[in-house]
Structure 1
Amino acid sequence: MVTTAVTETPTTSTSADAPPAPVLKKVVTPKRSSSKDASPKPAEPRIDIDWLSHYLLGTWAEARLESRAVTARPEMQRIEGQSTAEHRKTTLGQLHLLVKEGAVNKAFPKRLGGQDDHGGNIAGFEELVTADPSLQIKSGVQWGLFGAAVLHLGTEYHHDTFLPSIMSLEVPGAFAMTETGHGSDVASIGTTATYDSETEQFIIHTPFRGAWKDYLGNAAVDGTAAVVFAQLITAGVNHGVHAFYVPIRSADGTFLDGVGGEDDGLKGGLNGIDNGRLHFDHVRVPRLNLLNRYGDVAADGTYTSSISSPGRRFFTMLGTLVQGRVSLDGASTAAAKIALKIAITYGSQRRQFTAGSDTDEEVLLDYQKHQSRLIPRLATTYAASFAHEVLLTKFDSVFSGAGDTDVDRQDLETLAAALKPLSTWHGLDTLQEAREACGGAGFLAENRLTSLRADLDVYATFEGDNHVLLQLVAKRLLTDYSRRFAKADVGVLARYAVEQATDRAVNGSGLRRLAQNVSDRRSVARSVGQLRSARVQRALLTDRVETMVGEIAGNLRAAGKGSKKKAADLFNANQNAMIEAARAHGELLQWEAFTDALTKIDDEGTKAVLTWVRDLFGLGLIEKHAAWYLINGRLSPSRARAVQAYIERLTARLRPHAVDLVDAFGYGPEHVRAPIASGQEAARQNEARDYYRDLRASGNAPVDERAPKK
């Protein structure tokens, strides 16, 4: 543990669920106690690092540890500086090693050699980001998208026919959904699959350039088949988007007749993946290649489906592929952990400027600004980690069949759409701040922050653009207003938003009275005491979601009374507010997950420190949105200042625990692989300090010209 220049001692809390209030004081060397000394003060709480590290592994700890053992092997790790061709070859070879290790079959059926372990599969998969994001995403393309589409959209025939060669990597494949002209709007893709009853074949065709399938992993070089999404047309009727298994290359790597494509070439990151484009010129595939779990075509061309509503059928099919968003949420959080492990370890060792000493330079992490750059992001990373465990548990429940109702699937989709944007943006933000906090050393490729930042950039648009996903969350919060809005009461819609996140602890009027009372007392100390309460934090965060959704619902009440154009214009005029409400909803979900996680911690020291971390996250959200709270009368100016002041005190309070908190992530040097976080910096600093100390002791040190003359 690195000694800090500032520490605090707790005082008695006035709230049952509040952490002790920090009181700043300088560190002094304690005197040896004697019978005349006063009673010693309580010791500073400390984290049980081993216990917390295991706790953070979550329900699928074994799967994570197995994956970390694989990613610790040098042959599974990224080699910085490789050309695109070399990187692609390395990544494909690593996929074959994953197959050899049996690391790819967890989600597939036991009768085919899998384990039917959906949660464990995702937990292990997202850990691959520590080895190389290209490895994580390319394996995700093969088994999490291409293979998962066959598994979840196909039936037993498709499982038996196609899955064994997909699982073994005998058939590398692409997931051909996105088109150059349509990304997030899958329902409007241009590729068609027209049924020919005379030959019992579907004719796959891309009628114009914008309908080319684009940005597809495995499409440029390695893929020999693809799951192609297209508009299913039979007997002159378009039944919407369905998925088809389509061979695209022969064994020698040449395109099959009617199939063409291009290499996407050099990208901003993830260059170990052979992303490319595909197009089809009346390519014929057998009728049985339709992945027909939710919609089928008989030999005579008759279409049938167990889901009568085209819209519901479409969203059900896409919902089966939600695991991509789930895994990106977890992988982004893992990347943020690696970034903070590097930056906080380095910041606790790197010294700069002799601010408080004539001889010793200060550790970077002892500077207030350095703390405020990293420690609040550490708090958000813990919140994202606990929220991801909730999401992963929900995912496993749905896909294992333990809780697989329409409501469960809708809740899962909403939860994934709410959390994936927050975690991917946070991962990028944390990687950038960590890079800057490490100065020039952070810019060196050997310390990984720049390459991780480049690779994770696309996560913000993978599996759905983040803003589009938040818009979906907002629509869910507003409850299917296109059908029921005219009859829905604003209060009903607002209550629905809150029910999605938490049981309401404080009603709106009570919250307003509380805020007003604090304002009237003009007491910063009382304000801080209130803010430390989980009840008050929950109330403030919940009230923001409630109020925003209620206001939007009121604004949209006229949508059902006018023309389609008027409704679209009204919706567009409220789009920014909807996305912001959805973001607030996701933040509340993270806070709730963190708060729930605290209830499962028995060790007093660990619980105390993590409660401060939770408070820093929660109050950070309130500070971030202080303008809203002030404008809407939820906080007085004095209380808003108290939030800011207490955040600074909490950040300083957590400084002595920062290294322990990143060590608890459980990533060893073999996962971090950044020289500046390996102890090298500490050795350099010690060498320099020893040199100057010995030089001073020798009497041969030169005299500083600014020194007073004797």
Structure 2
Amino acid sequence: MADTNRTRRQRSEQPRQRGKVDVDWLGRDLRGTWGDRRLAARKKVADPRFQRIDDLTVADHRQRAFEQLQLLADDGAVLAAFPKRLGGDDDHGGNIAGFEELVLADPSLQIKSGVQYGLFGAAVLHLGTEHHHDTFLPPIMRFEVPGAFAMTETGHGSDVASIGTTATYDERAEEFVIHTPFRGAWKDYLGNAALHGKDAVVFAKLITKGVDHGVHAFYVPLRDADGAFLPGIGGEDDGYKGGLNGIDNGRLHFTDVRVPRTNLLNRYGDVAPDGTYSSPIDSPGRRFFTMIGTLVQGRVSLDGAATIAQQAALAIAIRYGAERRQFNASSDTHEEVLLDYRRHQRRLFTRLAKAYAQTYAHERLLVQFDGVFSGRTDTPEEREDLETLAAGLKALSTWQALDTLQEAREACGGAGFLGANRLVQLRADLDIYVTFEGDNTVLLQLVGKRLLGDFAKQFKGVSKADIARFAADQFFDRATSLVGLRALSQDVRDLRNVKKSSVALRDADVQRDLLEDRVETMVADIAGRLRHAPKEQEMAAAAFNAEQHQLIEAARAWVELQQYEALAAAVERAPEATKQVLTHLRDLFALTIIEEHAAWHLEQGRISGTRSQAVTSTIERLLVKLRPHALDLVAAFGLGDEHLRAHIATGAEASRQAEAQAHYDRLRAAGELPTPEKRAKGTNPDAQPIAVAGAAPVPPSAFTDSAPSAPSASDAADAEEGATLASR
């Protein structure tokens, strides 16, 4: 009996492999265009000098991050994006690729570096002109002048256009007077503001000759050589935070602080000595968005860092799940590996598919970013596309990072809660990623507005007859869906057979059609409702406000489509064996997204009831197909023990389990294993009716142990089905 159970258990653990992952090829493909930059950054991540020490005080953590950043500056690792004539490499994509890897060392170091070089220094680079580059950038690059990026205010975060700080030009002195007129206009949450910042780029409304020309950036000294605030400047320490406590976030306020006229970063707007304002961009709105758009790299880098954090979390959880054993579901002598439980697979593999899709989507974003900022593809249209994609990907990847880190933590039980295994601290540090560089909800509104704008452009210059035909086609398509004709045609093709439905759902064209259709339908619906909205401002705003939820959902659907397309493209270029495994991963990503929005697809008549059922059953089959490749798929991330620094991901758990099993095997072989009470009595007084053979009752220890919850009878049924499928 024991031998039979052991054979069954081994078959469950090792379903028949179809396809084999070429880990080396996949690793190179995942690292993308700037793989060398990533590998160089990972060498630094592996250096203990750059790694986080968890039990530091806030003060000590701040000092350590400061010293670490000086080390990065000394070896030039953070200077890649700056001009070659000043000591950089003019490598914008490579700079971001290396920067985002620092999240593995310490997110505080990564973000402090981002404040110094990606915000403060980048503002001087992209908003200033040659005078500012030559004057201010060299000491910034050498980290001789730590700086703050003073945009956000206590009263205004994402709505930068409405900030209260003013910069009023004084013609007689040829100076700008920087002033915060009320408490809500204090600059807030600024890295380097509480302690280390010597200078700042301050965003304020430029006023000259009584005209407000909107938000512009000014270079403003903050502290003297002894670290004391200069006259007219004050501030506060933001204090302890929920994460990133290696960064000295703080507040700043200005009372009639004067700076020279030439401290205006004047690439997009300038003031002559006599106070005359000029700009190469006539439209105030377009000028504002152009200036803000030059700082898009913050969103690009957060998308990448959030994706890398997911890779790390999944590598830790899947390595651990492949070793940790719990409960005798199918054997009297061997406990089950956690990763063989179907629920455990679903909680991790679906998120693994999303991490892959986000990794490949980020690579596309990074290539587009580099094209624009290098000047190769720098057009207004490309910049608008870049801003839209960066906003959408940053929103979904940072939200998904929190979800994945939390699920990975729970999947590792009590071990996941220990600081030594990093998951809890990573989640705390990444929490703020969903808020800074643009609140995620606001960013998706930006994406949604772009989708509406693109929809409206289709009809620019189109005749009324063409519009009428379009409306008729839309009406016919909608009517076909709502009366069930589309679903009926699916049932006819599938013969209401779940297996045939599953085959259809694994077709890339079907997946793409469902994902595209959701975007197009939602955008058209919103546009149709807004077309009849009143023109009067207040009523028009109310009408748009009523559509915000649907607009954000449409934006989310569009971003999911971009992620799918990126993963699908990776499938097509993969070597044959790896392609098969990546196809399963692509299918899992697509069907997970479709399942999450199943209610919409059913309500809209886009899928039949049979196909809706097949979505879930197909996901279950895909989990079985991916189980043998799980360790290879996370190995391709290229994260070694020195990068993860999580004890449970080092193989220590496998050694512990082997030791325990060897102990019981010795006792069993020697005949010294005590007989369980229920066997000694010849009966089982605790037995409960269980419908599925091989499912063990939950032991009392399951309610006190910190390990993941016990498998249910359905888990055992899933394991049974998985073994059956694998043996076919």
TM-score clears 0.5:
yes
Letter in 2 for 1:350: R
How far apart are the structure 2 equivalents of 1:452 and 1:438?
15
| Aligned positions of 1:146-165 closer than 5 A | 146-165=120-139
- Alignment check: 8 A CA contact 1:220 1:275 kept: yes
How big is the shift at 1:513? 6.6
How far apart are the structure 1 equivalents of 2:58 and 2:583?
45
Tell me which stretches of 4 or more aligned residues in structure 1 moved more than 2 Å.
24-30, 41-44, 480-493, 507-516
Name the residue aligned to 1:414. Answer: 388
- One of 369, 373, 390 as aligned partner of 1:395: 369
Q: Secondary structure at the match of 1:226?
A: strand
Q: 1:546-582: per-residue Cα shift (whole Å, max 9, x none)?
A: 00000000010133x4210010000000011100000
Q: Secondary structure at the match of 2:273?
A: coil
How far apart are the structure 2 equivalents of 1:387 and 1:468?
21
Say whether residues 1:319 and 2:293 are aligned partners.
Answer: yes
- Alignment check: 8 A CA contact 2:455 2:523 kept: no
How big is the shift at 1:354? 0.9
Q: CA RMSD in A?
A: 2.5
- One of 165, 182, 201 as aligned partner of 1:208: 182
- One of 487, 492, 512 as aligned partner of 1:538: 512
- One of 312, 331, 343 as aligned partner of 1:338: 312
- One of 690, 697, 700 as aligned partner of 2:662: 690
How far apart are the structure 2 equivalents of 1:566 and 1:43?
60
| Aligned positions of 1:306-705 closer than 5 A | 306-479=280-453, 515-520=487-492, 521-559=495-533, 561-601=534-574, 603-705=575-677
- Alignment check: 8 A CA contact 2:129 2:265 kept: yes
Q: 1:68-97: per-residue Cα shift (whole Å, max 9, x none)?
A: 011110010000111100110110111011
How far apart are the structure 2 equivalents of 1:572 and 1:491?
31
How far apart are the structure 1 equivalents of 2:463 and 2:428?
46
Q: Secondary structure at the match of 2:234?
A: strand
C-alpha change, 1:490 and 1:204, in structure 2 (3 Å) is farther
How far apart are the structure 2 equivalents of 1:342 and 1:243?
43
Unaligned runs of 5+ in 1: 8-23, 31-40, 497-506
How big is the shift at 1:28? 8.6
How far apart are the structure 1 equivalents of 2:195 and 2:367?
36
- One of 112, 117, 140 as aligned partner of 2:114: 140
How far apart are the structure 2 equivalents of 1:703 and 1:480?
73
Name the residue aligned to 1:504. Answer: none
C-alpha change, 1:490 and 1:568, in structure 2 (3 Å) is farther
TM-score scaled by length of structure 1: 0.91
Unaligned runs of 5+ in 2: 471-476, 683-728
C-alpha change, 1:608 and 1:582, in structure 2 (3 Å) is same
Instruction: Give the number of aligned pairs.
Output: 667
How big is the shift at 1:383? 0.3
Letter in 2 for 1:684: R
How far apart are the structure 1 equivalents of 2:504 and 2:527?
31
C-alpha change, 1:596 and 1:274, in structure 2 (3 Å) is same
How far apart are the structure 1 equivalents of 2:358 and 2:304?
8
- Alignment check: 8 A CA contact 1:490 1:554 kept: no
Name the residue aligned to 1:126. Answer: 100
| Aligned positions of 1:164-203 closer than 5 A | 164-203=138-177
How far apart are the structure 2 equivalents of 1:483 and 1:633?
28
How big is the shift at 1:523? 1.7
TM-score scaled by length of structure 2: 0.88
Q: 1:421-449: per-residue Cα shift (whole Å, max 9, x none)?
A: 11000100000000000000000011000
Letter in 1 for 2:148: A
How big is the shift at 1:452? 0.2
Q: 1:345-388: per-residue Cα shift (whole Å, max 9, x none)?
A: 00000000111111111000101111111000000000000000
Q: Secondary structure at the match of 1:203?
A: strand
Q: Secondary structure at the match of 2:259?
A: strand
- Alignment check: 8 A CA contact 1:609 1:654 kept: yes
- Alignment check: 8 A CA contact 1:203 1:285 kept: yes
